[in-house]
Chain A
Amino acid sequence: MQDHILIAALVSVIAFFSVYIITPYLIRFLEKRNLTVKDFHRKGGATVPRLGGVSILIGIISSELVLFVFFPITEIIVILITTSLAFLVGLVDEVTGLKKFIWFKPLALAGAAIPILLLGTFDSNLVFPLFGSIKIPLLYLAVVVFIIPITGNTVNSIDVLNGAASGFMTIASFALATSLFILGNYEIAIACLPLGFVSLAFYKYHKFPSRIFPGNSGALALGGMYGVIAIVGQVEIIAAIALFPAIINIFYLLSRMKRIKDREKKSKPVTITDDFKLAATNYKDAPITLVRLILARGPLSEKQVVSIIFKLALFAAALAIITTFMMGVRL
């Protein structure tokens, strides 16, 4: 057990400090090459470097490779491959014109799940709290293919405000790691720690006022890794519960998929007031996103909205951990 604690500490330190140290250099590199986007929510519309996913991926790969030296298990290889593929999908989506094809991201992310199937690092038993498990061999193959696009897009959908995605993923990842520790799945729990520490280190630069954005590459890498850990750790339901606040946005994405053809006609869900606060719009056809729900009672500053998102994430994390304890109870 003492060995496990030392290894957990080592990979956490590597994950945190690799992102913490590399990101300032990455910011300067991206600014020099003008790889920036305008932050419309900020006074004066500052430009902020995107492609922060590069430092996120470096943090994940370096820490997981060190972990693999201590625990040479296939699950860590799968985590590395799927996360890297999810990062590449985001990168391609960001730097090429493929963004126009609405199906590119979900289909390519589904492809990123293939290593999980090929290397057989899943168990087709889906475990529910209080009631036990259900074996769904056929359906579970589809579940594996669907989970990565869902978690990837869920994290991507919450990456609309400074610090929201990285802060949210810090809370959700630590909740997932805690659940895995409680269930006694120590190796995957330790493999999950870098996700939390990478998100935490990146949050330092991503929080308001952002110095860098994770971009699609970073958001999909974080979401993809979260999804693959849920599968290989057999904690799919717990992982979904910790993501609940962000899943509210997925309902909107699903409705958007349904109306692909007339998506251009949809109105904006949120607008900016003269004093640079965020406000929900009154348009009937605008999607009801998480941010719009938060702003339903009136305008708030970006920092206030992000703070509410973090409180919701903590609430969902608490429900996820309660659910973990309920896994051992049978009605």
Chain B
Amino acid sequence: MIGAHIFFFIFIMWILIIAGGGILVLLVAPITISGFGELDSFISSSIKAIIAIALIVAWIIILSKIKNRMFLKRITS
């Protein structure tokens, strides 16, 4: 089937986005910072935002690497 590898790639994208959601909800969301007074919620929000952005960047890098490897394998075979 033409393009079967892309269906597989999209499936990986789907798994990674669900797993990423799990990491955000289960591990990142409960993070709380204390000891900074009124800035507590701002600092913990900022930390969560930075982790979330890092996860998105990681998602893009992982998928780019898989995509490039998949393409090079196809074109050289």
B71 A288 Cβ-Cβ under 8 A: yes
Q: List the A side residues contacting B60 at CB < 8 Å.
A: 251, 254
14 sample A-B contacts, Cβ–Cβ < 8 Å, listed by A number: A126-B24, A128-B18, A131-B24, A131-B26, A139-B48, A139-B52, A240-B17, A248-B6, A251-B63, A251-B64, A290-B6, A294-B6, A304-B2, A312-B6
* B3, B18, B22, B74 interface centre (most CB from chain A within 10 Å): B3
- A296-B71 contact given A244-B13, A244-B14, CB 8 Å threshold: yes
Instruction: Please tell me if B49 contacts chain A, counting CB pairs below 8 Å.
Output: yes
Q: List the B side residues contacting A138 at CB < 8 Å.
A: 42, 45-46, 49
- Chain B 7-25 interface mask (CB, 8 Å, partner A; 1/0): 1011101100110011011
Instruction: Please tell me if A130 contacts chain B, counting CB pairs below 8 Å.
Output: yes
8 other A-B residue contacts (CB within 8 Å) besides A129-B21, A244-B13: A128-B21, A128-B22, A130-B18, A131-B22, A139-B49, A293-B9, A293-B67, A300-B2
Nearest CB of chain B from residue A17's CB, rounded to whole Å? 34
- A136-B21 contact given A245-B10, A288-B67, A296-B74, CB 8 Å threshold: no
B45 A132 Cβ-Cβ under 8 A: no
B22 A293 Cβ-Cβ under 8 A: no
CB within 8 Å of B: which A272-331 residues:
280, 282, 288, 290, 292-294, 296-297, 300, 304, 308, 311-312, 315-316, 319, 323, 326, 331
Q: List the B side residues contacting A255 at CB < 8 Å.
A: 64
Residue of B nearest to A127 (CB): B21
Nearest CB of chain B from residue A140's CB, rounded to whole Å? 9
State A247–B59 Cα separation when bound (angstroms): 12
B2 A282 Cβ-Cβ under 8 A: no
Residue of B nearest to A142 (CB): B49
State A135–B28 Cα separation when bound (angstroms): 11
- Interface size on B (CB < 8 Å)? 35
Say what secondary structure dominates the interface of chain A: helix
A134 B13 Cβ-Cβ under 8 A: no
Residues of B within 8 A of A (CB): 2-3, 5-7, 9-11, 13-14, 17-18, 21-22, 24-26, 28-29, 42, 45-46, 48-49, 52-53, 60, 63-64, 67-68, 70-71, 74-75
CB within 8 Å of B: which A108-130 residues:
126, 128-130
A308 B22 Cβ-Cβ under 8 A: no
Q: List the A side residues contacting B2 at CB < 8 Å.
A: 294, 297, 300, 304, 308
Q: List the B side residues contacting A282 at CB < 8 Å.
A: 75
Q: List the A side residues contacting B53 at CB < 8 Å.
A: 139
- A134-B24 contact given A245-B6, A280-B75, A312-B7, CB 8 Å threshold: yes
Q: List the B side residues contacting A245 at CB < 8 Å.
A: 6, 10
Cβ-defined partner of A312 (8 Å) among B3, B14, B22: B3
Instruction: Please tell me if A220 contacts chain B, counting CB pairs below 8 Å.
Output: no
Nearest CB of chain B from residue A162's CB, rounded to whole Å? 18
A-B residue pairs, 8 tightest by C-beta? A128-B21, A296-B74, A131-B25, A139-B49, A138-B45, A134-B29, A308-B3, A131-B22
Residue of A nearest to B52 (CB): A139
Q: List the A side residues contacting B7 at CB < 8 Å.
A: 312, 315
Cβ-defined partner of A134 (8 Å) among B5, B25, B64, B74: B25
